[in-house]
Structure 1
Amino acid sequence: MPRHPRARTARQALIATAALSALSAFAQEARTTPDPLQQVVVTGTRRADRTLGESESPVDVIGGAELRRAGSNELATVLAQLLPSLNFPRPSLTDASDAVRPAQLRGLSPDQTLVLVDGKRRHSGSVVNINGSAGRGSAPVDLNASPLAAIDHIEVLRDGAAAQYGSDAIAGVINIVLKKGAAGGSVEAQFGQTDRGDGGNEAGSASLGTALGDAGWVRLAVEAKHQAHTNRAGVDTRDAATEPRKGQVNNRLGDPDSSQQAAVLNAQLDLPGGTQAYAFGTLSQRNTTSAAFWRTQATAKANGVATLYPEGFLPLEDSRTTDAALVAGLRGQAAAWQWDVSVNHGENRFDIDVDNTANYSLGANSPRHFDAGGLRNGETLLNTDLSRELDLGLAAPATLSLGGELREERYEVVAGAPDSYQSGGASGFPGFQPSNAGTFKRHNASLYAGLEAQVTKAFSASAALRAEHYSDFGSATAAKLSGRYVASPALSFRGTLSTGFRAPSLAQQHFATTSTNLINGQLVDAGTFPVDSAAAIALGATPLKAEKSRNASLGVQFTPIKDWKTTVDVYQIDIDHRILLSGNLSLPTALRTTLANQGVFVSAGRYFTNALDTRTRGVDIVSTLHQEWGAAGRSDFTVAFNDNRNTIRGVDANPAVLTANNLTLIDRVTLARATVSTPESKLVLSVDHQLGDWSGRLATTRYSSYAVRQADPTLDQVFNPAWLLDVSLGWSHGAWSANAGVDNLTNRYPDRVIAGNSVGGILQYSSFSPFGFNGRTYYGKLAYRW
């Protein structure tokens, strides 16, 4: 067997799976727990009776109990703990990305995963991740805007689904299923902090339902939470001999201060004639305070603000993220057709102020607080779904589905106050300039059809086709074929072939800003230019087009006994014309002059491009065993493993103007971010045990190595694999329950950043770490449910 670390991890997953088969020999004949394979799923199918065991594509179902048991109250963090194919790094010192952190499925871009709420498309966020972190160039859905108290369960489709759901569903689909019905409610409180004594968090939530007479119900869930910042920055050694704060930690590196309030309202009402009205709305607001890099006393003196900050200063970015959505619809049956008509509107607003800073051009008269402007994203959809059963003489009636959708999108950049952007702007985060500001719109129309059939008792198949037309870049089509063959009650095979697309977002086409970035170890002013701007065209930009993808997967389901099941799925995803933000182009004098003549004064620039073709290959293994021990209780064992490799299939020719100036559009840093900056494998081993009123959970997660590359190859760094151990203990009696636990029990930190990349010792840890760098965390929960 090969000795490569990835091969060892795969062997560990297979050995753990084999261990479950050994335990299954002790499985008792009498079982009282329900079979999870019989749970009905709604993601990836239009049928109303498709169970998890019958799914032709791999689907993970995460129940409400699993969500509540987790130590974190952030949805993305919980998903990353439970799903091997999903990672949620915690970037720091990355401006707006500190407040709206992106998650990645299968190592792809965060906006290549579609998010649904009760099967309805969720609107994207307004923040574009433009700094040096995972997900750079994306503007994904804000997963953490959804309160856990409102969620019944989550279905994660690990397969391309653009033919079924439209743009963005290249890596997969996350469907958040809300709680329904009048029965039941809960009140819950949570507390926690890190081993270092920082990062203290408190959260409170409530969920309850009530009947609307005999014809309907309404549910309300609310949540409020606060997270204090963590700090793992090192001692700042820049100009240490002359600085008054020599030997002190002046910067912040870690989670930001954050407070969030959220509410979800969900309702349903039966109308005469068999028609049903439904609606759900979500609202959240998050206030976040994160830090920029420390400005030394020498910097303050050199820029005329020493009287304001005699020892130096730390700019703080105060942001407010407001996320709101409303879906309302009618559904019913006419003749043999089931129909559903809905209107879906969502908005995401991001406003940012900069505090404890100065505009150098104003010297000692500079304000210390600046309104830096904001971003807005809005989407409105009108959707119609039709479905009916057809008797085609097969083993069971087939399901025909038809539908259409009209969508309007709106993106806006709001300029900041003049002091925030003029003559270099506020140090730390210059405000959005009037030249950056604007409102941009587009609309698209789509038609889609699907057919699902149980061809024989042993073989099922489905097909889907979708065509879309966008007003700004043209048309796109997608198709999908799926099948599942049952060789025996214990063994079945499944597979899919599909094409997909992802339209360039309005944010990627029109976002513009100037900000202070860390480039090659130096802080410089860098401009992000829309592809149709004069500045971008001068640097070789061309109009964006849609990404095109081709997905293939093949899987096996093995269920030798009722309580032991294993799935293995291999997949390949080819993406052409991948949309990403170019490398940071450090501009020579000639190009600086060209941009200065346009009124753009920056030392570096970048823009979005379709210049990359990639390939993703991987395997998912999930094996679970339920074991009854009689008087000793019952246990659930899980082995979950993902191995995922991203490689480059092609890079477009470098623009001539960049070649002439010794610049590269897609540099080695950008290529590494798309390929090796996420772990290639992740293994999760867990056991849950229930004994009377008590329960316990032990889970260990292994992240493989990952690499962060720099423009200077001598500064590249490979980070070693890491094992994390999480433990929790729960108690439940009647309506009351309590849970306490420790995440990262062994206090595992990622490798430290090498000195050449630490910016004078500040950056001790990399923002690419898939498990952050907060160390050991304690938490406790108390809940009352009825």
Structure 2
Amino acid sequence: MRKLFTLRLVGINVACWLLAATTVLAQGVRGRVIDGATRSAIPGATIVVMNTSVGATADANGDYSLKLDPGNYTLRVSFVGYQTASVPVTVSSGEPVVANVTLSDAAESLGEVVVIGSRSTQVRTSVETVAPVDIIQSRDLVATGQVDITQQLNFVAPSFNSSRQTVADGTDHIDPATIRGLGPDQVLVLLNGKRRHNQALINVNGTIGRGSVGTDMNAIPSAAVERIEVLRDGAASQYGSDAIAGVINLRLKERPGTSVIAQVGQQYKGDGQVAQIGVNHGIKIGQKGGFLSLTGEFRHRGATKRAGDYNGPVYVNWNVARATGETDAAYIARRQGLYDQDQTRIRANNFDLSDNMLIGNSQVDNIGGFLNARLPITAKTSFYATGGINYRNGKAAGFYRYPFQTSQVITALYPNGFLPNIESKINDQSLLAGVSGESKGYRWDISNVYGGNSFRFDVTNSNNASQFAQGANAQTNFYAGTLSFYQNTANASVAKDYGSSVGLKSFNVAVGAEYRMDFYRIRNGEEASYRNFDPASGRAGGAQVFPGFQPANAVNASRNVVGAYIDIETDLSERLLVNTAARYENYSDFGGNLAAKLAARYKFTDAFSLRGAISNGFRAPSLHQRQFSAISTVFVSTGQGLEPRQTGTFRNDSPIAQAFGVPSLTAERSVNYSVGVTSQPLSNLSITIDTYQIDIRDRIIYSNQFTRGTSGAGLIVANILNAAGQQEVNAAQFFANAVNTRTRGIDIVVATSPRLNKGTLDLTFAANFNETRLTGDIKRPANLPNDAVFGNFLFNRQDSARLTLAQPKSKIAFTANYRLNKFGAVLRLTRFGEVATYDPANPLLDEFFSPKLVTDFSVSYRVFKNLTATLGANNILDVYPDKLQKTAQPTPSRFGSAVLDNSSFGRFVYSRNATQFGFNGGYYFLNLSASF
């Protein structure tokens, strides 16, 4: 049963047999979990010992084992699509008790045990928690037909959004991911409950999450993931910085046995070929619950091409401005003459106007491996470890450089211009090791996790135009530099339930401390990647598409963070559950922050509960935002096309930023409110509805270009840049705490499993509606005039729309999953809400894109006992977003009038600034999954 957002409490006929032996070997419980209808094993079934931290997962044969001291216990056995079984067992000295469990289909209630968001040992389902939590099992992720984790989540979690970007430098290779329409850096990612390091790349192009630093979840093999838990609530008081929108926790596989997932597919248009193979092998270590799980995965994603036909100048620039005093007739005639010259040369050189841009998915090859292990040391103490490495090689294209652009093109080298490439090499490593145990009711955990990410930029098929004197011998490939970010986090925690001591069902108290070190580094590129060898020539220096990082950009920075928390959760009565938490963190580079939370759930009846929470949170500025600097070519919309500008991003503490009056970065701060209802009116029907409001002040933004000029505001900028020795830089940018926002929304999840005579049918309806708007005034740099011109330089209409309109305001998903013997079918309908983009200054260039409905369908058949084949299609009806509307084509008859064009002379058919679900069309695939 596909489980989205809610974990399903299950129940119908349970048969359980208890056998005990007398030979003194080991104490505990072992057994097998099987399907009551088919009598086959249920791999992955969850076995939890209630009121303890002990649990296990059934292996490929359905077998499990638990290490327990003598005593009376209750096992809770569950799996998606089956009834949950509560099994009493008595453990005595001697051989393990055998408890075999038979589960039946047709869930009686829809939920499973929720772990994230609570440090209590009390077993709770999603309708029993104080905050909304979604659990997505691995088979639900595989059923999407996607191979990357971010894309899998995008189609099973309506509050989650991730769309691939195009012509966005490094962001083509790492997908920005968000929750509830907020930023990529406002969601915290955990791996096996421990903080996951951020990516090295900072998004500085015009994409979702511009100016932010996210976490690269695609560096984790999807074949290694057992399930993903999504906490949709502010949780900075529990987990620390970044958890303003929520928390995503990826749990890795632990069960013995071997599983293999392989997929091949391609887009309907014949490109974008995908090949994936992932292998997970679990080994049982000893008889006390030890295991070693190893995963290897390879993914290939081919590029897609969705560019339109180019209709701009190629050899001769006819898109020229009117000369002073020039009449309309003379201007039109001059442009007509230049246009005719250009067309003649295009025909003579057979220049292909339909194949000079790569707009769509970039090409990516991804290979990685992970291990997950636990080794008991004593009866109640275990060592655990998780580690992984990942390597990704990407290739994305920038804007085509045409031969008429002589300041950017060495025509002796590229007589017909060239399409430069950014080739990325992304390395990701992590290692977690820890010891956990229990003594006299105290549950303790000590761990350390070290991980990091590096992003190397190589520019190929390009040139440094200032090397024009070398002609056809000029350099074409450049090493442009490397970004890296590493993090070390040490944790210690202890918890105990004092419920029995104070006469309550539960009174769990957890305290913990954390010490974290962040390391950020920029390595400069080779000299030819950034240097202008002949400034007097007027030609651009550095590698076209991505000028390399200069020695002045190189940085090796670090900081440390100290934190401590207390978390209390108690069942004050059979109906009232209360959770409160507080956390203090101190950052060596900007100071401290205190976050707190109060949440409660009141159960009016077994079928209806009310829950709510109020909390404050924070997000510390990343080291990237504090330390990043670069000189790059940025294409800026001017209303009549895209104009390249040499733009400098200067550090927040640099003399240039100080000259502008930009204050030092501080933390973003939030206040979260949520109220929800949970209901289970029928045994096989679950409903959760949660409303929320998230107020964030001092959001960090990446400013627009403060452009130099000869008068007014431009002259002020020119004077600042010239005084700093940046005469070649056309514009300056920086990071600043500048805006406040308010996000309001509602999440709805309805899940049911109607009873059928034959087969099983699981239905899930899930929706998210949200709206973000700006509140208060924009905080302008202190040393600049408070006028509209400088306001647009800092944060303009385009920036505002990117925060408030560029992500779908709603996402609604309906899923039907039917199974009958060896046959299965999944139908998914996903409606992506409207999005919009604004022009920086001209409302006539604003674009609006209507909602779209995407249909996915797949059928599966169990060919052999251990092999299942799935044939399916994503976006089976080949739906595309709305095309750009402001695409009036410049033709000779229009030379005398202004042309409003968002398509960059026809090259962009679809918006690259706001994407609902991408613009690649339908995709069909064949998936093979096997378990042994």
Residue 718 in 1 paired to residue 848 in 2? yes
CA distance in 1 between counterparts of 2:421 and 2:613 reads: 48
Residue 742 in 1 paired to residue 868 in 2? no
1:305 matched residue in structure 2? 410
CA distance in 2 between counterparts of 1:374 and 1:209 reads: 36
Q: Which of the numbers 767, 776, 783 marks the counterpart of 1:650?
A: 776
Aligned-residue sequence identity (percent) comes to 37
Q: Secondary structure at the match of 2:237?
A: helix
What are the equivalent positions in structure 2 for 1:448-527 lying under 5 Å apart?
A: 448-520=565-637, 521-527=642-648
Q: Secondary structure at the match of 1:54?
A: coil
CA distance in 2 between counterparts of 1:50 and 1:573 reads: 29
Matched residue type, 1:472 = D
What are the equivalent positions in structure 2 for 1:34-73 lying under 5 Å apart?
A: 34=107, 37-52=110-125, 53-73=127-147
1:5 matched residue in structure 2? none
Q: Which of the numbers 244, 247, 251 marks the counterpart of 2:357?
A: 251
What are the equivalent positions in structure 2 for 1:375-414 lying under 5 Å apart?
A: 375-391=483-499, 393-414=502-523
CA distance in 2 between counterparts of 1:523 and 1:109 reads: 27
Shift of 1:89: 1.7
**Unaligned regions of 5+ residues in structure 2, if any?**
1-82, 84-102, 315-338, 533-540, 888-900
2:68 matched residue in structure 1? none
Q: Secondary structure at the match of 2:139?
A: helix
Provide closer, same or farther for how the CA distance between residues 302 and 460 of structure 1 changes in structure 2, counting only shifts above 3 A: closer
Provide closer, same or farther for how the CA distance between residues 90 and 621 of structure 1 changes in structure 2, counting only shifts above 3 A: same
Matched residue type, 2:506 = P
What are the equivalent positions in structure 2 for 1:340-379 lying under 5 Å apart?
A: 340-363=445-468, 364=471, 365-379=473-487
Matched residue type, 1:408 = M
Q: Secondary structure at the match of 1:82?
A: coil
The answer as to whether partners of 1:229 and 1:255 remain within 8 angstroms in 2 is yes
1:209 matched residue in structure 2? 282
2:335 matched residue in structure 1? none
Could you report, residue by residue, the CA deviation over 1:525-570 in whole angstroms, capped at 9, with x for unpaired residues?
A: 2221111112222333210000110001001011111111111000
CA distance in 2 between counterparts of 1:603 and 1:462 reads: 54
CA distance in 2 between counterparts of 1:681 and 1:394 reads: 46
Provide closer, same or farther for how the CA distance between residues 303 and 400 of structure 1 changes in structure 2, counting only shifts above 3 A: closer
CA distance in 2 between counterparts of 1:128 and 1:651 reads: 26
Q: Which of the numbers 652, 656, 659 marks the counterpart of 1:538?
A: 659
The answer as to whether partners of 1:346 and 1:378 remain within 8 angstroms in 2 is yes
Could you report, residue by residue, the CA deviation over 1:336-363 in whole angstroms, capped at 9, with x for unpaired residues?
A: 3110000011110000100000001111
CA distance in 2 between counterparts of 1:660 and 1:497 reads: 36
Residue 762 in 1 paired to residue 893 in 2? no
The answer as to whether partners of 1:40 and 1:49 remain within 8 angstroms in 2 is no
Shift of 1:31: 6.3
Over the residues paired in the alignment, what is the CA RMSD in angstroms?
1.7
Provide closer, same or farther for how the CA distance between residues 157 and 651 of structure 1 changes in structure 2, counting only shifts above 3 A: same
Shift of 1:38: 4.7
Q: Which of the numbers 523, 535, 557 marks the counterpart of 2:678?
A: 557
Q: Secondary structure at the match of 2:564?
A: strand
1:23 matched residue in structure 2? none
CA distance in 2 between counterparts of 1:156 and 1:605 reads: 39
Could you report, residue by residue, the CA deviation over 1:692-738 in whole angstroms, capped at 9, with x for unpaired residues?
A: 11111111111121110111222111111111111111112410111
Q: Secondary structure at the match of 2:140?
A: helix
Q: Secondary structure at the match of 1:596?
A: helix
1:592 matched residue in structure 2? 718
1:776 matched residue in structure 2? 922
The answer as to whether partners of 1:127 and 1:350 remain within 8 angstroms in 2 is yes
CA distance in 1 between counterparts of 2:185 and 2:142 reads: 26
Provide closer, same or farther for how the CA distance between residues 246 and 660 of structure 1 changes in structure 2, counting only shifts above 3 A: farther
Provide closer, same or farther for how the CA distance between residues 302 and 506 of structure 1 changes in structure 2, counting only shifts above 3 A: closer
Q: Secondary structure at the match of 1:253?
A: coil
Provide closer, same or farther for how the CA distance between residues 252 and 36 of structure 1 changes in structure 2, counting only shifts above 3 A: farther
Q: Secondary structure at the match of 2:463?
A: coil
1:613 matched residue in structure 2? 740
Could you report, residue by residue, the CA deviation over 1:394-428 in whole angstroms, capped at 9, with x for unpaired residues?
A: 44031000000000000001100000001221000
Q: Secondary structure at the match of 1:651?
A: coil
Matched residue type, 1:757 = N
Shift of 1:770: 1.9
2:765 matched residue in structure 1? 639
Of residues 527-536 and 190-199 in structure 1, the stretch that sits farther from structure 2 once superposed is 527-536
CA distance in 1 between counterparts of 2:619 and 2:447 reads: 23
Q: Which of the numbers 515, 521, 530 marks the counterpart of 1:421?
A: 530
Q: Secondary structure at the match of 1:297?
A: coil
The answer as to whether partners of 1:583 and 1:669 remain within 8 angstroms in 2 is no
Q: Which of the numbers 791, 799, 802 marks the counterpart of 1:670?
A: 799
Q: TM-score, normalised by structure 1?
A: 0.94
The answer as to whether partners of 2:307 and 2:354 remain within 8 angstroms in 1 is no
CA distance in 1 between counterparts of 2:591 and 2:474 reads: 48
Of residues 33-42 and 750-759 in structure 1, the stretch that sits farther from structure 2 once superposed is 33-42
The answer as to whether partners of 2:408 and 2:544 remain within 8 angstroms in 1 is no
The answer as to whether partners of 2:403 and 2:409 remain within 8 angstroms in 1 is no
Residue 684 in 1 paired to residue 813 in 2? yes
Could you report, residue by residue, the CA deviation over 1:123-146 in whole angstroms, capped at 9, with x for unpaired residues?
A: 000100001010101111001111
Q: Which has the larger radius of gyration?
A: 2
- How many residues align? The count is 756
CA distance in 1 between counterparts of 2:769 and 2:596 reads: 26
Provide closer, same or farther for how the CA distance between residues 713 and 249 of structure 1 changes in structure 2, counting only shifts above 3 A: same
CA distance in 2 between counterparts of 1:652 and 1:467 reads: 29
CA distance in 2 between counterparts of 1:750 and 1:304 reads: 34
The answer as to whether partners of 2:704 and 2:733 remain within 8 angstroms in 1 is yes
The answer as to whether partners of 1:90 and 1:770 remain within 8 angstroms in 2 is no
Provide closer, same or farther for how the CA distance between residues 304 and 232 of structure 1 changes in structure 2, counting only shifts above 3 A: closer
Provide closer, same or farther for how the CA distance between residues 108 and 461 of structure 1 changes in structure 2, counting only shifts above 3 A: same
The answer as to whether partners of 1:86 and 1:104 remain within 8 angstroms in 2 is yes
Provide closer, same or farther for how the CA distance between residues 302 and 571 of structure 1 changes in structure 2, counting only shifts above 3 A: closer
Matched residue type, 1:121 = R
Shift of 1:304: 5.8
1:581 matched residue in structure 2? 702
Shift of 1:683: 0.7
Shift of 1:593: 4.2
The answer as to whether partners of 1:395 and 1:457 remain within 8 angstroms in 2 is no
CA distance in 2 between counterparts of 1:545 and 1:660 reads: 22
CA distance in 1 between counterparts of 2:547 and 2:927 reads: 41
1:11 matched residue in structure 2? none
Q: Which of the numbers 289, 308, 313 marks the counterpart of 1:239?
A: 313
CA distance in 2 between counterparts of 1:304 and 1:561 reads: 69
1:20 matched residue in structure 2? none
The answer as to whether partners of 2:674 and 2:693 remain within 8 angstroms in 1 is yes
Q: Secondary structure at the match of 2:492?
A: strand
Could you report, residue by residue, the CA deviation over 1:729-758 in whole angstroms, capped at 9, with x for unpaired residues?
A: 111241011111111111111111232111
Of residues 527-536 and 166-175 in structure 1, the stretch that sits farther from structure 2 once superposed is 527-536
The answer as to whether partners of 1:394 and 1:456 remain within 8 angstroms in 2 is no
1:278 matched residue in structure 2? 384
Q: Secondary structure at the match of 2:573?
A: coil
